[in-house]
Chain A
Amino acid sequence: MATKSGRTIAHIKQRSVGSVLLRWESILFLIFLAVNIVNYSLSPDKYFNTSNLLRGLRETLVSGMIVFPMAFILLLGDIDLSVGGNVCLSATVLGLVYNASGSIWLGILAAVATGTVCGLINGLLLTRFTELAPMVVTLATNILYRGISEGILGDTATKGMQKVDWFKSLYFGKLGDIYYILIIFLVLAVIFGLVMHKTVFGRQMFAVGENKRAAKYAGIGVEKIRLIVFTLAGFMCGITAMFYCAKTGSVMSNAAEGYELDAICVCVLGGISTAGGKGTLPGAMIAFFTIALLKYGLGLVNIKGQIINVIIGALLVVVVMIPTVQDLIKKHRIKK
C-alpha cells in the first residue's frame, strides 16, 4: 500500500513540475557542490590533494559496486536486503577455495558462482511466489547467507588472499595516479548506465517498475526480467566479494555488514524511488560521489564516522522531502 500511494504522489509531481528528473539531478548537483565547498573550507590545504582524494574515494568503492544492481532492483519496484549476506558468503567461499586449492583464479570463480547462485535463489523464490514481498524474502535470505558463512567460519577468519600480488593490486594497484578499482568502477557505471537508459531491456525495466500489470499486458516478460536482475545482483555480489577480499585479505562472518542499506541510501538519494519506475543512474552516481566525498572530507577534519552517519541520514530525509515542500509552496502561491 505504501508503495502504491508513493507512486501516485510521484505521478502528480511528474505532471505538475514537468521534468522532475532534471530538477532532481540539479538539486543533487547543488548538494554535491555544497559538500565540496564545505569540505574545502574545512581543510583547504588537504582537501584537493589528488592522492588523498583518490585514496578517500577508494574506501567507498567496494561497497559502491552494489549500487549498480541495487539501482536496477529498485527501478523494478523490488528491494534486495540480502546483498550484504551474499557478499559475505561469496567472500568466505573465495577465501576457503583459495586456501584449499592455492589458486586465486579458482577462488574468484567459486565466489562469483556462489554470488550468482544466491542471486538466482532470490530471483526464483520471488518469481515462483509472486505474492511474497521482496523485503521479506531477501531479509530471510540475508540471514541465511550470512548464517551459512557464520556456520562455516565460526568465530575464525579465512585469510591469506593478499599473498597474491596481482590480486591485492585489484584494490591497491594503480595505473598512473588512478586506482584500478576506480577505473573498473567507472567502466561498470558506463555499462550499467547504457543498459538502463539506452537498451530495450532498460526501457522494459522502467515499464515493469511503473506498472507491473500494464507491462505484462504489453507483452513484457515481467518475471523473466525480475529473475535476470536478481541473478545479476548476485553476480555483482560475487564481484564485490572479490574486491572485498583484495581490500581486507581476510573474511569474517560480519563482512560487508550494512552494504544493503548503504546502497539503498545512495540510490534513493540519487532519485531512484523505492516505489519503482523512476530514477536515473547518473543521479545515483552523483549521490554516490557526494556521500563518498562527504565521508572523506569530514574524515579529514576528524569527525567521527557516527556523526557522518547522522549527517547522511539527515541529508537523505531532507532531500527526499524537497518535492513535497515544493508542492506545498506551489499550492500556497495558488491560494494567494
Chain B
Amino acid sequence: MTVKQKTLKKGGKLGEVLRSREISLLLVMVLLCVVIQWRSGGTFFTPGVITQLAQNYAYTAVLTFGMLLVLLIGGIDISIASTLAFSGMASSMLMQHGFLTNPFMVFLVSTLIGLGCGLIIGLVIAKGKVLPIIATLGFQYIVRGLTYVISDSKWVSSDEMLPAFTQFSLDSFLGIPYLAWIFLVLFVIVLLVLKWTEFGRQIYAVGSNAEAAKISGINIDRIKILVYSINGAIAGLAGAMFTSKYASAQSNMATGAEMDVIAACVIGGVSLNGGQGNAVGALLGVITIAIISKSLSLVGIDAFWQQALKGVIILLAVAVNVLVQRNNDREVLKGREI
C-alpha cells in the first residue's frame, strides 16, 4: 500500500496526470476498435474505410485544433460552422465567376476570408469586452445570414467549380489523402506551437489565470485576438476542404458542426474553463468521434440511433474524466498525509 502511494506521489505532477489521461483515452479507443473490428466481421480496418474516414472527418479534425486554441484561453466559439460556410461559399463563388483559377488560390482566399471573420470576432471579444459565448452566438446568426445573402440562397454546383479543386479531395500523396495531410500538418504545427513557443505558453497562461497573466506582462487582448483570428482562418481552410470534398457549396453546409467539434475537444480532455488540454488529446478526441460515427452502421446499429449513442458516449467520457480526476486528487491528498 505504501509503495503504491509513494509511486502515486511521484506521479502526482500535472504532466503525469495529463499524460496518463491520454493513454487511458488511447486504450479506450483501441478497445473500441477491437470490438468494432470483431463485431463488423473484419470490415472496419480496411484501407478503403480508413481513407474514407480520413476524408470525411478531415474538416472536423481541422476545426478541432482551432477550437482547442480557443478553449485553452478559456473562450468558446460557436460561430465556426457559419464561418466555414461563409468562406467556403465566398471562395466557391469567386471560382464560379472565374476570379480564381488556381485551386490553391481558392484554399488561400477561403482561409483569408475566415481570418477576417475571426479577426472581427476577436476584436469584439477582446476590445468590446463581450463574453465569448454571446459574441459568437451573435456572429453565428450574422455570418450564416450573410452566407445566404451573398449566395442568394443558391448552390454552387460541382460543374461550376474547377475540376482540379474537386479532384484535390480525392487525390492522395504517399497513400494518404491530401485532406488528411492538411490536418496532420496542422496537428504537428499546433502541437509544436503549444509546447515549445512563447505564444503557446502564453495561451496556457491566459487560460489558467487571466489576471495573473496580465500582471506578469502578457498582453491578453493581443493573445485573444490572435487566437480567434487563427481559429477563423482554420474555419476558412475547413470551408475550402468542405466544398472540395462535397463538390458543392450550399448556404446551410456544416450546420451544427461546432457541437461535434466541442464534443471532440471535451472527449479529448480539453477543459472548457481554459488552460487544460493539448493537441494530442484533441486529435484522439476527434478520431474517437469519427470512429464512433462511422462504425455504428458497420456493427449493425440503426443509423437513426447514432446521435443518441453519441450523446451517451460524450456524457460517459466527461463523467469518467471527473471520476478519474477525483480519484487522483484523493490519492494525492492521501500521499500528502503520510
Chain A interface residues (CB < 8 Å from chain B): 1-6, 9, 79, 125, 129, 131-133, 135-137, 139-148, 150-151, 153-155, 253, 261, 264-265, 268, 273-275, 304, 306-310, 312-314, 316-317, 320-321, 324
Contacts and interface: CB of A to CB of B under 8 A. Distances in A.
Interface in B3-61: none
Contact of A320 (B130, B210, B273, B275): B130
Contacts of B139: 313, 317
Given A140-B315, A310-B146, A150 B304 contact: yes
B142 A131 contact: no
Contacts of B306: 147
B84 to A, nearest CB: 16
B131 A129 contact: no
Contact of A321 (B76, B130, B311, B322): B130
B142 A313 contact: yes
Nearest to B209: A1
B322 A132 contact: yes
B124 A129 contact: no
B129 interface: yes
Contact of A2 (B124, B132, B304, B311): B132
Nearest to A85: B311
B308 A148 contact: yes
Nearest to A304: B148
Nearest to B132: A2
Contacts of B124: 317, 321
A83 to B, nearest CB: 14
Interface string B303-330: 0111111111011001100100110000
B74 A1 contact: yes
B315 A125 contact: yes
A150 B296 CA distance: 15
B333 interface: no
10 contacts: A1-B273, A136-B314, A140-B314, A143-B314, A148-B308, A151-B307, A274-B134, A313-B137, A313-B138, A314-B138
Interface residues of B, number: 57
Contacts of A273: 131
B128 interface: yes
Contact of B322 (A131, A150, A316): A131
A140 B263 contact: yes
Contacts of B148: 304, 306-307
A321 B129 CA distance: 7
B149 A1 contact: no
A5 B210 contact: yes
Contacts of A145: 311
Contacts of B74: 1-2
A125 B316 CA distance: 11
A145 B135 CA distance: 27
B310 A147 contact: yes
B75 interface: yes
A147 to B, nearest CB: 3
Interface string B118-143: 00000010011111111101111110
Given A1-B273, A136-B266, A273-B131, A307 B149 contact: yes
Most chain A Cβ neighbours within 10 Å, of B127, B209, B305: B305
A304 B148 CA distance: 10
B259 interface: yes
Contacts of B127: 324
B232 interface: no
Closest 6 pairs between A and B when the two form their complex, measured CB to CB: A144-B311, A147-B308, A313-B141, A147-B307, A1-B74, A310-B145
A141 B315 contact: yes
A109 to B, nearest CB: 24
Contacts of A321: 124, 128-130
A274 B131 contact: yes
A221 B229 CA distance: 42
B294 interface: no
B326 to A, nearest CB: 8
A265 B135 CA distance: 10
Contacts of B95: none
B245 interface: no
Given A143-B314, A151-B302, A3 B131 contact: yes
Given A139-B262, A317-B142, A321-B130, A144 B315 contact: yes
A3 B210 CA distance: 11
Nearest to A310: B145
A313 B272 CA distance: 24
B304 A154 contact: yes
B131 A6 contact: yes
Given A306-B148, A313-B141, A136 B318 contact: yes
Given A306-B251, A307-B145, A313-B137, 5 more contacts: A147-B309, A313-B145, A314-B142, A316-B134, A317-B128
Given A129-B322, A143-B311, A321-B128, A135 B304 contact: no
